[in-house]
Structure 1
Amino acid sequence: MLKTLDNALDLLTYFTREKRQWGVRELAKEMHVSHTVVYRILATYERYGFVRQEAKTKKYELGFAFLEYGSILRDNLDMTQLIYPVMKKTADATRESVFLTWLDGTEGICLEIAESQQAVKYAFSVGTRTLLYAGASNKVIMAYLPPDVQTAIIGKGLLAKTAHTIQSEERLLDDLSRIREQGWAYSVSEYTDNVFGIAVPLFASDGKVTASLTIAGPDYRMPAEKVPHALEVLQAAKEEIQTYLQRIL
């Protein structure tokens, strides 16, 4: 029974932004599981709305049930009522997009975005998963994780997202130490080319890091002399959101 549950949950992780649809046999081959097992899992998920079969290709993709559960999660966090207005105020003050990245296991996941009103802006999507070792929004979380968790993340490999992604374990650990010491992170082109990020960590009531708040946009709009002001605005937003998070987490 537990093995079946493991397979069923593992199957969902194969549906990503890069690979949104799967045929039964190709998914079974990827998972190294019998196609009969995969078909039964997909058929059950389809019955409850967690996957659906695309009419033309006959391949499976995630279903609308996840939208409902995602909405419940965001309601539980009161994102729209309490956190988003602070993010929107920060986006208006800096004229750049503001992102809330949540720690989920050993990855980050974007839970909310307050977009810049400028025509050229950093395009990202709610629900996107990110690697914790690249980019300000991620590294400011990783910097506050226990050493054994950092080691486990590094052990999975430091794959390059761009030419500026740090791939040296020693350099990354030094960078994380510096971020933790100063309390914020700044990066340019580490996760996405020509995009800057300024990020601060958010903590639960037990003192453990749980998320990050980030200002991001085209790098040409954030020269070094503008960083201190943007950071000041971001830290003020952090204090507002932090007070709320520590009441509920």
Structure 2
Amino acid sequence: MEDNKLTVRAVERALDILLCFAEATELSLTEIAGKVGLHKSTVHRLLASLEGKGFILRDVSTEKYRLGFRLWELSANLSQTDDPGLLLLPEMERLRDLIGETVSLYVRDGKERVRIQAVQSNQAIRRVAPVGVRMPLYVGASSKVLVAFGEPAVVSDMLLDPDWPASLDRDLFVQQLQETKRLGYATSVEEREPGAAAVSAPIVNRAGRLIAALAVSGPSNRLTLETMQEQAPLIMEAAKRMGTMMK
């Protein structure tokens, strides 16, 4: 009987730890222990168990904890919609607040990409991204992602396309696709329009299928290549988290 009580108490304590993240993105061991009112040694053991099951992630560089991907896998079953534009909107807003730039979601439609969702930056000078806009797959960070991580036939169809712009180098495009696959993300600086830059990462569902391209865009004088390279891990992590929410 005593063992059952201890087991229930351990579960309640573990749930209390998870609930600490309802109002915080990252917390240290000391902060969590203070919130749940337990000794740090006890909290550390519980965190280790939660981390082992994927409910908690630990940043080895900061020694802080945050929610793990397993929770997003469970949350995917809460929604009955298959619309990524609706399902992923809260995560897009979270990324916008973290990075401070406009966040967009693109899907491929034939030889074009379509922006199906956007969360605008709150900054005075920003990249405005209207939903529903269509753009060619030949240029732009999201285009590279949608082609590089899409089905192999997409690449061959594009390279053989009679409408391929004469001003664009096919060999250079192939090199960019290879680099995108190697890095796991793509960047663009004034490729499609002057003064604009973007960085994009693939959203792949739990079955391994490409769902969409997640992009962060802004003025090129603020969103420099160096800045985009620094932000890329955050964007890829957000894209991976979103992928666990998609069936």
TM-score, length-scaled by structure 1: 0.61
Q: CA, structure 1 residues 109+78, in 2 after alignment: closer, same or farther (shift >3 Å)?
A: closer
- Give the letter aligned to residue 83 of structure 2: L
For 1:224 and 1:107, the matched residues in 2 are separated by 25
Q: CA, structure 1 residues 118+236, in 2 after alignment: closer, same or farther (shift >3 Å)?
A: same
For 1:175 and 1:228, the matched residues in 2 are separated by 15
Q: Please give the residue correspondences for 1:60-71 in structure 2 after superposition, counting only pairs within 5 Å.
A: none
For 1:220 and 1:123, the matched residues in 2 are separated by 15
For 1:149 and 1:90, the matched residues in 2 are separated by 29
For 2:185 and 2:85, the matched residues in 1 are separated by 23
For 2:84 and 2:170, the matched residues in 1 are separated by 37
2:226 aligns with: 225
Indicate whether 1:200 and 2:210 are aligned: no
1:20 aligns with: none
For 2:121 and 2:160, the matched residues in 1 are separated by 36
CA RMSD of aligned residues (A): 2.1
Q: Of residues 77, 81, 106 in structure 1, which corresponds to 2:83?
A: 77
- Give the letter aligned to residue 134 of structure 1: V
The answer (yes or no) to whether the contact 1:102–1:211 under 8 Å persists in 2 is yes
The answer (yes or no) to whether the contact 2:204–2:240 under 8 Å persists in 1 is no
- Give the letter aligned to residue 244 of structure 2: T
For 1:242 and 1:204, the matched residues in 2 are separated by 4
The answer (yes or no) to whether the contact 1:144–1:209 under 8 Å persists in 2 is yes
Structure 2 runs not aligned, ≥5 long: 1-80
2:95 aligns with: 90
Structure 2 residue matching 1:100: 3-state secondary structure: strand
Indicate whether 1:159 and 2:165 are aligned: yes
For 2:135 and 2:232, the matched residues in 1 are separated by 22
- Give the deviation of 1:87 after TM superposition: 0.6
Q: Of residues 135, 138, 141 in structure 2, which corresponds to 1:133?
A: 138
Structure 1 runs not aligned, ≥5 long: 1-74, 161-165
For 1:112 and 1:138, the matched residues in 2 are separated by 16
The answer (yes or no) to whether the contact 1:100–1:113 under 8 Å persists in 2 is yes
For 1:100 and 1:220, the matched residues in 2 are separated by 23
For 1:147 and 1:76, the matched residues in 2 are separated by 24
- Give the letter aligned to residue 184 of structure 1: Y
The answer (yes or no) to whether the contact 1:99–1:213 under 8 Å persists in 2 is yes
Indicate whether 1:185 and 2:190 are aligned: no
Aligned length: 167
Report which of the two structures shows the higher radius of gyration computed on alpha carbons. Answer: 2
For 1:105 and 1:152, the matched residues in 2 are separated by 10
2:114 aligns with: 109
Q: CA, structure 1 residues 189+224, in 2 after alignment: closer, same or farther (shift >3 Å)?
A: closer
The answer (yes or no) to whether the contact 1:103–1:210 under 8 Å persists in 2 is no
Q: CA, structure 1 residues 141+119, in 2 after alignment: closer, same or farther (shift >3 Å)?
A: same
- Give the letter aligned to residue 216 of structure 1: S
TM-score, length-scaled by structure 2: 0.62
2:43 aligns with: none
For 2:225 and 2:109, the matched residues in 1 are separated by 31
Moved >4 Å (runs of 4+): none
For 1:150 and 1:78, the matched residues in 2 are separated by 24
1:239 aligns with: 240
Percentage of matched positions with identical amino acids: 26
